Chain A
Amino acid sequence: GQQLNQSPQSMFIQEGEDVSMNCTSSSIFNTWLWYKQDPGEGPVLLIALYKAGELTSNGRLTAQFGITRKDSFLNISASIPSDVGIYFCAGQLGGYGGSQGNLIFGKGTKLSVKP
């Protein structure tokens, strides 16, 4: 089946640092979504991208839809302790009018505070 390769799997952050993570695939996607999940909670939508090359910000978060439509990245600037959690990318095949079954999730990037 379709797969998304999300990296890194985990990373440690120090307050104030910038963070980058990305998702790649061999498939072409029409939508890219980024979610964050805190322990014991469901994923929360952070950013949605609908066009190749699109760059969208949400506060300290910036995400881009890759030109090839096979990748996306998420940057977090000036990280703070509440940024810890698991970040998921999700790519949707089939475009608008498709199905949620066409939404493929990455395995997640776990952000932890540097000891």
Chain B
Amino acid sequence: DAGVTQSPTHLIKTRGQQVTLRCSPKSGHDTVSWYQQALGQGPQFIFQYYEEEERQRGNFPDRFSGHQFPNYSSELNVNALLLGDSALYLCASSLKSRGGTKNIQYFGAGTRLSVL
């Protein structure tokens, strides 16, 4: 059973460019969340997708956008890249809580984005 997979593993871009990161959730999961982890920091929540809609959003500018497809996979898009966007981008999948069931978020290995 494949876990959460992310692509690419590494990416180098220059300031002002746009980037798309991809995530395939764990089999059976329907909710995808994206996190940004800067060096020496914990992951910071960007947004969460469920039923192809953004359901929750953290404190990130509109340059960060996303999409969820009918097969539950997801993309994270970042426009007008800044040097400060250099980070590890993590995708996590889970099953939307139903009836008080405990659900854990499972993380992929991440995409390391470097902006030069």
> Are chains A and B native binding partners rather than an unrelated pairing?
no
